[in-house]
Amino acid sequence: MLRLPSVVFFIFFILYSSPSVSERLPIPEIQLASQYSDDLALADYLVSEKLDGVRGYWDGQQMLTRSGRKIDLPVWFTQHFPRYALDGELWMKLWFI
């Protein structure tokens, strides 16, 4: 059963992430899943389970989605991020669900 805070969260999420509100920037060149190859050195990669979050691309200055929408993050979250590109998943555990 969904509680009121989770319903309110999803309503704000949908309203805020609509194309009319989100700032759209050039689509980042993100590697997508492809065919696995046996000659790939898996030790060269950091792998984690899929948590059903949102793909986040840090370009060294700002966070973008796969479609190029800017994700506004608090300064305390990004203050120690590197100046080079990172690609990963943004996920937040909702304690009230």
Catalytic residues: 50
| Per-residue b or e along 6-35, where b marks 16 or more CB atoms closer than 10 Å to that residue's CB | eeebeeeeeeeeeeeebeeeeebeeeeeee
Q: Count other Cβ atoms within 10 Å, centred on residue 63.
A: 19
Q: In this structure, which amino acid lies at residue 16? A: Y
Enumerate helices (H) and strands (E) in the chain, giving the number of each: 2, 4
Q: Is 77 helix (H, G, I), strand (E, B) or coil?
A: helix
